[in-house]
Amino acid sequence: MLFKKENNAPRNVPGHIAIIMDGNGRWAKNKGMPRSFGHTAGAKKFKEIARYCNKIGVKYLTVYAFSTENWKRPKEEIDGIMNLLRDYLLDTANFKGENVRLRFIGDRESLPQDIRLLMENGERESEGATGMTAILALNYGGRDEITKAVRSIVANGVEAEKIDEALISSYLYTADIPDPDLIIRPSGEYRLSNFLTWQSAYSEFYFDNVLWPDFSIKDLEKAIDEYNRRNRRFGGV
């Protein structure tokens, strides 16, 4: 989509932006506060960035909120993150009237039952929204996703010759969601940490040293500008 900036130069807004919301703990520690303080600030930041993405015409925004590996953390921290999620899902004011569709990717089985119900409610209630789709990756792991897909393919008795890339894609959580164009990771880490393993094959990557609670609209704009300078060849010339 074309969007005019102040200087009137047309630019391409990525159709699908994915963000690894990392650095909450360090942000809190720098302030002498408990890690939970950072997660609260991170959740607030998500709303601000999501709202802005919707405004500039991003079609899909996927955010990594909890990985399949994050269960390794202390119970207290996990409980705090789950409570934040509850608050978020219970706050009906979120994106109501903003035409944002809410979706979740990840393994729901091991999430608390009440949260699962809230997730289903949120998805159902926003189903008709025609603006941006906000996708929360919760208890998500790329390898776990692919493993589950393989299991289902085998369980369905699919013949070996029928298995191609499109079929595998159709078994992933993201079956009807286009691959991310731009993947942003703040906090100075240069890795995917099991995020969108299959889907990131041809994504553009943008790394930033800013910690997620400090990530601003300006920082997002910098990432989009950088994305506009990239030459995506997809293996061609």
Binding site for ligand IPE (CB under 6 A): 20-26, 64-67, 70, 81, 187, 189, 191, 193
Q: What's the one-letter identity of residue 163? A: I
Binder among 18, 21, 22, 138 for Mg ion (CB under 5 A) = 22
Return the one option of ligand IPE, Mg ion, none that residue 183 interacts with (CB less than 5 to 8 A, by type). Answer: none
Q: Which residue among the candidates 70, 83, 121, 228 is catalytic per the annotation?
A: 70
Return the one option of ligand IPE, Mg ion, none that residue 141 interacts with (CB less than 5 to 8 A, by type). Answer: none
194 is catalytic: no
Q: How far is CA 167 from CA 24, 150, 155, in A?
A: 37, 10, 14
8 is catalytic: no
3-state secondary structure string across 44-109 = HHHHHHHHHHHHHCCCEEEEEEEECCHHHCCHHHHHHHHHHHHHHHHCCCCCCCCCCEEEEECCCC
For residue 193, the minimal CB distance to ligand IPE (Å) is 4
Return the one option of Mg ion, ligand IPE, none that residue 191 interacts with (CB less than 5 to 8 A, by type). Answer: ligand IPE
Of the candidates 37, 17, 15, 18, the residue with the CA atom closest to the CA atom of residue 26? 37
Q: Which two tokens stand for residue 220?
A: 């997002």
For residue 78, the minimal CB distance to ligand IPE (Å) is 9
For residue 219, the minimal CB distance to Mg ion (Å) is 17
d(CA 227, CA 235): 17
For residue 137, the minimal CB distance to ligand IPE (Å) is 7
d(CA 57, CA 131): 8
Binding site for Mg ion (CB under 5 A): 22
The residues annotated as belonging to the active site are 22, 70
